[in-house]
Amino acid sequence: LLQKYGYTHLSAGDLLRDERKRPGSQYGELIENYIKEGEIVPVEITISLLKRAMDQTMAANSQKNKFLIDGFPRNEDNLQGWNKTMDGKADVSFVLFFDCDNEICVGRCLERGKSSGRSDDNRESLEKRIHTYLQSTKPIIDLYERMGKVRKVDASKSVDEVFEKVVQIFDKEG
């Protein structure tokens, strides 16, 4: 889907998990501790990984300059770090917000945890992540909403229904 619209998918979480496993990483242990506690990794680390991935993608193909950044920004610090680092280099076209009831989210993550191997797919970490979301992430979504940049998808629906809604959004946004 993203390739059809010319986007490269970058997952902040995947980049952090990959960096955590990378031999010799100066951030590995730090990232692991934040993830396990359901807390947000310091912005300098996440931004540097995102920027590196974006730069590598564009160096390989200069036409690939549209990114869907998954799971970022997560808090005010992330947003300020993004604005400071990416000012004049990248514009946020819109925020794709998958809205879902907490219990459905927890159920899905616990199910994923049976095979994911992720250290944060357990009830204790998930409860902490929900608390972090409400305290830190929701205000960022609200901010983008006031700017008219949020495109909301009811993620409690079936996979096919959610996908169809996402397709409609990308058809409209390009």
pLDDT digits (tens, 9 = 90+) for 69-127: 999 999 999 999 999 999 888 999 999 999 999 999 999 999 999 999 888 888 988 99
Record the tokens describing residue 138, joined without a space: 């929701």
Residue 136, pLDDT above cutoff 90: yes
Percentage of residues in the chain having pLDDT higher than 90 = 79
Last residue of a domain, one of 67, 93, 119: 93
Last residue of a domain, one of 93, 120, 141: 93
Residues 62 and 119 placed together within one structural domain of the fold = no
CB contact at 8 A, 118 and 38: no
Work out the average pLDDT over 154-166: 96
Q: Which of 95, 117, 93, 120 is nearest to 105 (CA)?
A: 120
Kindly state the greatest CA–CA separation across the chain. Answer: 44
Tally the domains of the chain: 2
Q: Residue 126: give the domain boundaries.
A: 95-162
Containing 65, the helix (H) or strand (E) segment is none
Residues 81 and 111 placed together within one structural domain of the fold = no
First vs last Cα of the chain: how many Å apart? 11
This prediction has a pTM of 0.83
Last residue of a domain, one of 71, 93, 115: 93
